[in-house]
Amino acid sequence: MTGAAGQLGADLCRLLEARLAEPDSPVRAWAGLGRAELDITDPARVRAVLRDQARPAKIQGGLVVINTAAWTDVDGAETDEPGAYTANATGPAHLAAACAEVDATLVHLSTDYVFDGRATKPYETGDETGPACAYGRTKLAGEGAVRALLPASSYVVRTAWVYGRTGGNFVKTISRLARERGAVSVVVDQTGSPTWSADLAAGLLDLVASSAPPGVYHCTNTGETTWYGFARQIMAEIGLDPATVSATTTDSFPRPAARPAYSVLSTRSWTDAGLTPLRPWGEALHAAFTLAGDDLRG
């Protein structure tokens, strides 16, 4: 697994370690690699690491690579699109090419930002893409490279609005601002599906263990809300009054990169493959605070 130090990568490490200890677990061994161990933008290093990992994996049933490494600074990509492209498109291409050489499976994480955000119903995997910012363009290019180079054994998994105990995210920001200011203003005109990284990690491992055909999938916690609605629920979870959250609009908070107004991803591809959808986002948020509340409060 790449990107082990990141939000999703850290939860995958915790889950893989737990699964390894289970009787009759399909997980025989695992390795979580950060950028120091595996810089996916270095093709020679990628080939060398995957060859080393593939040798023992052949005995254990085959190598699966889950790529969570990415440039995730959405606004920063507007001023350095070539840098974001290197991480989000060239790097995944190196992984896909190396996986093809050693007969490995690749699971590559992508994003709702590949769509233009103007839909009024959840996006299906086959809907027309049209990213409105540099970050989305680079992630879409990464998707294309992975599927083109490794069509028979690659999965592209789009997700959205991810939060977890590691790194910075919306949940931690709202928790901190609530303590510092007592009230916050949050946009009400952007809609999506908040996704707990621990649930997403479990979904990815379920995908790997399934007989789902290679292709593009959507995986988020189910249901939808606005950032405003999400913030109000966070307030309730930390024991503060949701009424202290006021609604504002995207125009009131201009950012370098355009944000999708609507980025709900349909789970039809997931369920059609026989996979169990992730629980509703509100249930996941409550579970996240129950299990990792201190970390999420920042």
Q: Which two tokens stand for residue 86?
A: 């290197």
- Distance (Å) of CA 291 to CA 5, 18, 72, 201, 202: 20, 15, 25, 15, 15
179 close to 219: Cβ distance less than 8 angstroms: no
User: Comparing C-alpha atoms, which of 20, 102, 25, 17 is closest to residue 63?
Assistant: 102
AA identity, residue 255:
R
Token digits for 258? 């355009």
Within 10 angstroms of residue 114's Cβ, the number of other Cβ atoms is 27
- The catalytic residue positions are 135
Alpha-carbon span 207 to 205, nearest angstrom: 5
> Which helix (DSSP H) or strand (DSSP E) does residue 145 occupy?
helix 134-149
Question: Residue 160's closest CA among 58, 260, 26?
Answer: 260
Q: Supply φ then ψ for residue 91, to 5 degrees.
A: -60, -50
